[in-house]
Amino acid sequence: MARGERRRRGTLADGARTAEGASRSGTARRDSRVGMTRGTVAGAVLAIVVLPLALNGEEVLVPEVGAKGQLKFISGHTNELGDFRFTLLAPTSPGDTGPKYGSYNVFWSSNPGLPLLTEVVKSRLNSWFQHRPPGASSERYLGLPGSLKWEDRGPSGQGQGQGQFLIQQVTLKVPFSMELVFESGSARAENQALGQLAGSLLTQALESHTEAFRERFEKTFRLQEKGLSTEEQALGQAALSGLLGGIGYFYGQGLVLPDTSVEGSEQKVAPALFPPVPLFTAVPSRSFFPRGFLWDEGFHQLVVQRWDPYLTREALGHWLGLLNADGWIGREQVLGDEARARVPPEFLVQRTVHANPPTLLLPVAHMLKGGDPADLAFLRRAFPRLHAWFSWLHQSQAGPVPLSYRWRGRDPVLPTLLNPKTLPSGLDDYPRASHPSATERHLDLRCWVALGARVMVRLAEQLGETEAAAELGPLAASLETEEILDELHWAPELGVFADFGNHTKAVHLKPQSPQGLVRVVGRPHPRLQYVDALGYVSLFPLLLRLLDPHSSRLGPLLDVLADSRHLWSPFGLRSLAASSSFYGQRNSEHDPPYWRGAVWLNINYLALGALHHYGHLEGPHQARAAKLHKKLRANVVGNVWRQYQATGFLWEHYSDWDGKGMGCRPFHGWTSLVLLAMAEDY
């Protein structure tokens, strides 16, 4: 697919530039061969390239004229860009460095305003211009009559305050290549000794950066050494480049609803704007989700820190800078008016009683394992905030019995919802107890807290924070005691770990006029019991490596993981068992299934890491875990690669039926974990 191929070349260059610090100048190339279907008639086609520039108000746009009256370049200044220069280089024939003949027109006037620009241009077009290449017959073309003289410019000029509008038009025969160079004032100053970064100089620079990127990529991830094909290596390079290209700096205020102390209270409290904050973060998708997501970011940084630990320290520092006085961080960072305009109203307000999986501790754990002095120095500074954040999570999400935990913020029971969502868990519509209540015990949350306690104890001990280590040590030990985990979450009747709550399976959506699909509850009536929803949540003690390699519970979890009737698919582990009554079910008339069967890369990455872990530890399941790791890795990597080859995109999630990409795309967030899966870096 031409679009996908061009995109892959671009992301590779982006990655090289991001990594190696390419010059802050840009060159756009337009090659007329792209999209040509009949090369035999190329010489008979006359093409017109129009390059419009428009500035508002007092911003400056100044054409610079050459000796023959032609436009050399356009200088300008805006408050946002500072000084800049646009240069349209002479067009060339493909494969030739010599200039190609072109006819030039320019139109320069005051800016009539964006709604009128098209009409102004159309009203000025004239067909009496002629294109006369040497030795060829002339052809008429539509052109813009104009001049590079502006008698009224200056302090008393007629156009003062209106802004300016300039169009450069080039008419020439195809095929051709053309470069438009944008240079900031600072880039021009830096490049004076080297010359303009364009033409062959740009090509050489890009080739040099690309080669440096490839060498560094192989040194970091060793995909070639592991025997992966050139095409698979290209997938890994695109995954990394897209993730790095999505890192951005955001600043603004978010809407926050403070704690009203009583969950489910009818008391109405208006959300307030949080004080302005900066955030340096990666994003799941630049086009669809261009903002920070707390639990996504931990997965993002697992990839980023392998490439550039400094970027990860900066990102984690910014996220920890969002803590409020209680230790809470909002799960979605919708900062500023522009960001809020792009987000549905139901996701705008962040509630200070709602948590999110503490995945930022995943890169923290990797830092502890690596022992980089710069990482340890960062962690020493960050420890008070990490401690406050974990303490808030442990205390605010406490469950109904000791050492149990419950996600605050489940949706209320509504007549249109099959199963009230649990957005704070990150697993959105994954089935929970059919009737939300304060009696619920959520398995995944307990496992996240257990992992957090383990990481925080190790961190406190390594940093010499003896008081914190003494405080957290007993909690971590209790949370890792398998007997307590069994007592709270092992469901003998299901043969797996499970949530607990007020639940019945006798819930379905039924068409009713005029409401549409309506939730109907039959018999048996809801009662306190383990929730029969085999899927990702059931695997969390395995996924987060909380079980001893000799645990009697490890075998049953491997059984359901490897069973195609349940979680195994040729494309990765499905999020909900095919045997579940909720599998593939809509949550409402307008809400298709999300975490109800699709294959998600972040959880499959955790599963690969766990299987690799248990496959290297002596125990009764060592050989089986190693074998499952090999098969699952082949399924996951192979499917992502095939879909990338077919579409040119990484996707939000993948179908467990045919492996096709689903959800939004491009999705260079946690789907970029495919790179670490290829590298077997867990």
Report which of residues 62 and 381 the model is more confident about.
381
**What is the CB neighbour count within 10 angstroms for residue 487?**
12
Residue ranges of domains in the chain? 46-197, 228-263+271-679
pLDDT band (50, 70, 90) for residue 334? very high
Element (H, E) at 496: strand 496-497
pLDDT band (50, 70, 90) for residue 152? very low
Stretch 574-578: mean pLDDT:
98
Amino acid occupying residue 528: L
- The answer to whether residues 446 and 438 touch, using CB atoms and an 8 Å cutoff, is no
**Measured distance CA(59)–CA(77) in Å, rounded:** 6
| pLDDT of 93 over the 70 cut | yes
Q: Name which of 114-123, 225-234, 342-351, 661-670 the model is least confident about.
A: 114-123
- The answer to whether residues 177 and 92 touch, using CB atoms and an 8 Å cutoff, is yes
Residue 216 Cα to chain centre, angstroms? 23
Q: What local confidence, expressed as pLDDT, does residue 483 receive?
A: 97
- The answer to whether residues 305 and 220 touch, using CB atoms and an 8 Å cutoff, is no
**Three-class secondary structure assignment of 295-337:** HHHHHHHHHHHHHCHHHHHHHHHHHHCCCCCCCCCCCEECCCH
DSSP state, residue 662:
E
Stretch 292-312: mean pLDDT:
98
Share of the chain above pLDDT 90, in %: 66
Q: What local confidence, expressed as pLDDT, does residue 387 receive?
A: 98
| pLDDT of 436 over the 70 cut | yes
Q: What local confidence, expressed as pLDDT, does residue 72 receive?
A: 84
**Measured distance CA(123)–CA(46) in Å, rounded:** 22
- The answer to whether residues 623 and 554 touch, using CB atoms and an 8 Å cutoff, is no
pLDDT band (50, 70, 90) for residue 267? low
Tokens of 373: 């002095």
Backbone φ and ψ of 298, nearest 5°: -60, -40
> Assign residue 620 a region: left if phi > 0, alpha if psi is -120 to 50, beta otherwise?
alpha
CATH code linked to domain 228-263+271-679: 1.50.10.10
* Sign of the CA dihedral running 668, 673, 676, 678: negative
**Measured distance CA(43)–CA(174) in Å, rounded:** 6
Q: Name which of 58-67, 571-580, 587-596 the model is least confident about.
A: 58-67
Catalytic residue among 429, 440, 465, 652: 652
Q: What local confidence, expressed as pLDDT, does residue 208 receive?
A: 95
Q: What is the mean pLDDT of the chain?
A: 88
Tokens of 439: 């009696």
Task: Please state whether beta strands 71-78 and 60-65 pair in parallel, antiparallel, or not at all (unpaired).
Answer: antiparallel
**Measured distance CA(305)–CA(383) in Å, rounded:** 18
Q: Name which of 33-37, 63-67, 104-108, 122-126 the model is least confident about.
A: 33-37
DSSP state, residue 174:
S
Amino acid occupying residue 148: L
Report which of residues 103 and 193 the model is more confident about.
103
Catalytic residue among 14, 190, 314, 428: 428
Q: What local confidence, expressed as pLDDT, does residue 44 receive?
A: 54
Stretch 310-317: mean pLDDT:
98
Q: What local confidence, expressed as pLDDT, does residue 342 receive?
A: 87
| pLDDT tens for each residue of 6-48 | 223 233 233 333 333 333 344 444 443 333 222 223 445 788 8
| pLDDT of 94 over the 50 cut | yes
Q: What local confidence, expressed as pLDDT, does residue 2 receive?
A: 33
Site of tokens 């809020």: 340
| pLDDT of 462 over the 50 cut | yes
**Measured distance CA(418)–CA(589) in Å, rounded:** 10
pLDDT band (50, 70, 90) for residue 150? low
Active site residue 428: yes
Share of the chain above pLDDT 70, in %: 89
Q: Which range scores top for mean pLDDT: 29-38, 79-88, 140-149?
A: 79-88
Report which of residues 234 and 24 the model is more confident about.
234
**Measured distance CA(393)–CA(440) in Å, rounded:** 17
**Measured distance CA(208)–CA(549) in Å, rounded:** 48
Stretch 389-396: mean pLDDT:
98
DSSP state, residue 538:
G
Amino acid occupying residue 206: L
Stretch 537-541: mean pLDDT:
98
- The answer to whether residues 13 and 208 touch, using CB atoms and an 8 Å cutoff, is no
| pLDDT of 240 over the 80 cut | yes
Active site residue 559: no
Residue 385 Cα to chain centre, angstroms? 25
Cα 55 to Cα 78, 79, 107, 153, distances in angstroms? 8, 11, 14, 15
Q: What local confidence, expressed as pLDDT, does residue 261 receive?
A: 53
Stretch 154-161: mean pLDDT:
43
Q: Name which of 24-33, 130-139, 367-376 the model is least confident about.
A: 24-33
**Measured distance CA(131)–CA(174) in Å, rounded:** 13
Q: What local confidence, expressed as pLDDT, does residue 59 receive?
A: 81
Q: What local confidence, expressed as pLDDT, does residue 149 receive?
A: 64
**Measured distance CA(102)–CA(89) in Å, rounded:** 11
| pLDDT of 290 over the 70 cut | yes
| pLDDT of 355 over the 50 cut | yes
Report which of residues 158 and 352 the model is more confident about.
352
**Measured distance CA(538)–CA(490) in Å, rounded:** 10
Q: What local confidence, expressed as pLDDT, does residue 481 receive?
A: 97
Backbone φ and ψ of 78, nearest 5°: -130, 160
Q: What local confidence, expressed as pLDDT, does residue 155 receive?
A: 38
**What is the CB neighbour count within 10 angstroms for residue 369?**
10
**Measured distance CA(350)–CA(354) in Å, rounded:** 8
Stretch 656-676: mean pLDDT:
97
Instruction: Mark out the alpha helices in 275-433 (DSSP H runs).
Output: 294-307, 309-320, 337-340, 361-370, 373-396
Q: What local confidence, expressed as pLDDT, does residue 10 receive?
A: 31
Q: What local confidence, expressed as pLDDT, does residue 645 receive?
A: 97
- The answer to whether residues 446 and 475 touch, using CB atoms and an 8 Å cutoff, is no
